[in-house]
Amino acid sequence: MLNAFKHPILPGQIGGHEGVGRIVTIGPPTTSTFSTPSTLKIGDRVGIKWQWSICGTCPPCLEGRDGLCFEGRASGTYMPGTFQQYVLGPANYVTPIPEGLDDVSAAPLMCAGLTVYAALRKANARAGEWVVVLGAG
């Protein structure tokens, strides 16, 4: 079972975890969990991923396995998701989206694309090698 589902889904929760949009306001603080100042500004295009936030201090986080964070929060289950006009997201956990990439192409990268990328990275796959990806996307 994924850690994101250890908390009950709140009544009235809004689903969605593959969103792309523009920052319309930035609230305090704009530094990340890891004390790195954010470079985000109003008008930037960003994406909201499945994993909404992590604690940054538990063993999985410290090992670079944020999907297994003991206190991780998922978009659309524990935190309101992207099926709404405005979405909140922590500055350190939204993903900048380049202007040349349209929303329809960028949004699936926030879930299925990251799932496949993470698996390839962990497998140390290299250019020219064969891989099989099952059940993603």
Distance CA 129, CA 137 (A): 21
Confidence of residue 6 (pLDDT cuts 50, 70, 90): low
Structure tokens belonging to residue 43: 């008008």
Per-domain boundaries in the chain: 3-122
- pTM for the whole structure: 0.74
Say how far residue 82 (Cα) sits from the centre of its chain: 11
The CATH number that domain 3-122 falls under is: 3.90.180.10
Tens of pLDDT, residues 67-82:
888 888 888 888 888 8
Distance CA 127, CA 137 (A): 21
**19-22/45-48 β-pairing:** antiparallel
Confidence at residue 3, expressed as pLDDT on a 0 to 100 scale: 43
Distance CA 42, CA 77 (A): 26
Looking up tokens 């008008």 gives: 43
Q: How far is the first Cα of the chain from the last one, in angstroms, to the nearest whole number?
A: 19
Confidence at residue 91, expressed as pLDDT on a 0 to 100 scale: 85
